[in-house]
Amino acid sequence: MRVAVFTGSQAGPPSHQHAAAAFAQSLAGAGVGIVYGGGRVGMMGTVADAALAAGGEVVGVIPQHLVDDELAHPGLTDLRVVSTMHERKAAMADLADAFVALPGAAGTLEELFEAWTWGMLGLHAKPTLLLDVDDFWQPLLTQLRRMVDDGYLDGRRLDALGVVHTADGLLEFLEGYQHPQRKWTRPAQG
């Protein structure tokens, strides 16, 4: 099993770094591989370094322009270089059995929402989760609940978005996960 980890290229506060390292070490200890954006910096580098130090598999997928900027992690189990950010996300989705967003910024949000939306549309049936470090995701969850309340988001979709605090919580969520029916289905032919 592999989990795609979406997180920031900035370091964030020390508590987030410690939580990300513990999360990655626990996944590695459970035999769960990590797929991520291939960077050596920020929270991305923290996740990769911690999983590798624990003997875990870490697959990085990075576009050539970031390799050219010398941002690629040099010590991964497998580093796949692609041409574009779109190819990066598609490759990560293909390689992963689940998606989890750790604290990050705009890129993390974009990856999270794309993976979650693809699941809603029936393009995959893979779980999508948030690792809620220091209540980082609570303001987003408040906004998502507002979307449900205002009728923009089906509550089943929000219920299917896992919110966990540890790798053990992630593994427990995955064990019981049931993907909701896709958002759009054809009416029965009769």
How far apart are the C-alpha atoms of 106 and 7, rounded to whole Å? 10
Q: What Å distances lie between residue 86 and 3, 83, 90, 108, CA to CA?
A: 19, 8, 6, 14
- Does residue 66 contact residue 102 with C-beta atoms inside 8 Å? no
Q: How confident is the model at residue 105 (pLDDT cuts 50, 70, 90)?
A: very high
Closest-CA residue to 92 (of 74, 114, 120): 114
Read off the pTM: 0.93
What is the predicted pLDDT for the residue at 98?
98
Per-residue model confidence as pLDDT tens digits over 59-85: 999 999 998 888 889 999 999 999 999
Q: Taking 70 as the threshold, does the pLDDT of residue 189 lie above it?
A: no
CATH fold of the domain at 2-134+155-174? Rossmann fold (3.40.50)
Mean pLDDT over residues 167-190, rounded?
82
Sign of CA dihedral 64, 66, 71, 77: negative
- Does residue 53 contact residue 21 with C-beta atoms inside 8 Å? no
Q: Which two tokens stand for residue 181?
A: 């029916």
